[in-house]
Amino acid sequence: MNYIGTRSKLKKYGQLHVLDHYKELDGAGKKALLAQAAGIDFEKVLSLYRHATGGEQGDAAENNFSFEPLPYTDKASLPAEKLAEYEKAGADIMARGMFAAVTMAGGQGTRLGHNGPKGTFDIGLSCHRSLFEIQCRRLADASAKYGRTIPWYIMTSRENDADTRAFFEAHGFFGYPRTEIRFFVQNMLPMVGFDGKIILDNPGHIKEGADGHGGVFAALKSSGCYADMRKRGIKWVFVGGIDNVLLKLADPVLVGFGEKSGAPVAAKSLVKRDAKEGVGVFCRRNGRPYVVEYTEISDEMAEARGADGQFVYGDAHILCNLFSMDAIGDILENADGLPYHAARKKTPYVGADGEIHTPDKPNAFKFESFIFDAFGRFDDLAILRVDRESEFAPVKNREGNDSPETARKMYIAQFGE
């Protein structure tokens, strides 16, 4: 699209400021900005902004939802024979090459504030293993144990794709067979200031953010990774995040549990630490499996306790999910896709003065779809409640809870330095 066409499109959506510094850009910069604007669905962005600010019917409708707890299986209470049965079933699936792992590493890691893809972060172990290497070792161990290399699909974003690939190249793919690792890129959406204006992160560039971990399904499809999985005869796909240093990417117990449950999707949970912990919790919403995010749960629901003194909605979703290939196929067939949520983020922006400003409090919406919004498509979801100490040590914040320091301690307690 040329300058005139772009200008009238931006005008229509109240975004003319995007061209405020156009004249100061060189030829390549001008071309790049016009190309970026041409690729943006402004109608969609406007609708997401209106939804976030209550201008369209949105989350208020949640008041009409009915919630109830979703049953779970407590791994710690399983008889040894049952556990062995799950483990054997899962091991069998892995040995037959019917299992794949997906790592979602397209996030911005804003809270951690690391300069580079989050997966390249070193939590300070004496061996200086990165988050990517920690996950790779898990997969390599399982591949060796079950005699089949597990295909590993890594989701990046346009923002961090090149750096992620370069990091793997520089580290020789950590010794993992190169042909068994595939990178795929998720979609992005512009970030919008609380005043409705699209953010520029430099005078010739619109700030876009990855469209949430729910973007994994569309990206698996558009990249050809889903077709690749089908071709390989994959039956179960583990989908997890990059930032939990204790994540078991290839856990035969979970795979066997999923297989034996008859449910199309299985997930691990753990008991939330306290009512305010920043995790989503499993439940049924209007009878369907659902996760209420910590940013969206009511105090009443977060704090509710049963007669036994336990949280009624105490099973935290830890981004540790296992999808059957049929479930992914089903999600992909849903033309409407997943809903978007608006996260409030602190993001540097170009002010009216043409300078880049760094805000000290959130200033913009980032629109994200959540992987667990896909759960509602299914009648059933099999939940395996696991133990926090052995399975969950996320790296979210620079310090305090869920920081490199807490994750490092938990990692060392299990694996040593």
Residues in the site for ligand UTP, rule: CB under 6 A? Answer: 104-111, 118, 155, 186, 210-213, 215, 241-243, 319, 368, 396
Give whichever of 215 and 252 is closer to ligand UTP, judged by the CB atom.
215
Q: Which is nearer to ligand UTP, 111 or 171 (CB)?
A: 111
Separation of alpha carbons 168 and 173, rounded Å:
5
- 202 and 354 in contact (C-beta within 8 Å)? no
Smallest separation, CB 39 to ligand UTP (Å) = 17
Q: How far is the CB of 310 from ligand UTP (least distance, A)?
A: 26
E-strand spans in 47-93? 67-68, 73-74
Q: Can you tell me the distance from the alpha carbon of 17 to that of 21, in angstroms, rounded to the nearest whole number?
A: 8
Beta partners for residue 104, in sequence order: 155, 241
What stretches of 106-233 adopt beta strand conformation (E)?
Answer: 152-156, 181-185, 188-190, 192-193, 200-202, 205-206, 208-210
Q: Is residue 403 within 8 Å of 394, Cβ to Cβ?
A: no
Q: Which of 213, 235 has the CB closer to ligand UTP? A: 213
Residue with tokens 């008991």: 271
Residue 21 is inside which H or E element, if any? none
Min dist CB 137 to ligand UTP, Å, is 17
Q: How far is the CB of 96 from ligand UTP (least distance, A)?
A: 28
On whether the CB atoms of residues 227 and 49 are closer than 8 A, the answer is no
Q: How far is the CB of 371 from ligand UTP (least distance, A)?
A: 8
Minimum CB separation from ligand UTP for residue 186, in Å? 6
Q: Which residue is nearest to ligand UTP, using beta carbons?
A: 107
Least Cβ distance, residue 405 to ligand UTP (angstroms): 16
Nearest CA-CA partner of 189 in 333, 364, 354, 373: 364
The whole-angstrom separation of Cα 194 and Cα 359 is: 13
Tokens describing residue 88: 């054997």
Task: Name the residue nearer to ligand UTP (CB basis): 107 or 190.
Answer: 107
Q: What is the C-alpha separation between 246 and 138, in angstroms, rounded?
A: 9
Q: CA–CA separation, 318 vs 140, rounded Å?
A: 22
- In the bound state with ligand UTP, the residue whose beta carbon lies nearer, of 108 and 406, is 108
Q: Give the H/E segment covering residue 349.
A: strand 349-350
Name the minimum Å distance from CB 241 to ligand UTP.
3
Instruction: Say if CB 214 and CB 338 are below 8 A apart.
Output: yes
CB 190, min distance to ligand UTP, A = 14
Residue 108 or 261 with smaller CB distance to ligand UTP: 108
Looking at the Cβ atoms of 118 and 408, the one nearer to ligand UTP is 118
Q: Which two tokens stand for residue 280?
A: 């989503």
Count of residues in the chain? 417
Whole-number minimum distance, CB 395 to ligand UTP, in Å? 8
Q: How many CA atoms lie within 13 A of 410 on its CB side?
A: 20
Between 137 and 344, name the residue whose CB sits nearer to ligand UTP: 344
Nearer to ligand UTP, 154 or 384 (CB): 154
DSSP three-state, residue 318: strand
Whichever of 22 and 294 has its CB closer to ligand UTP, that residue is 294
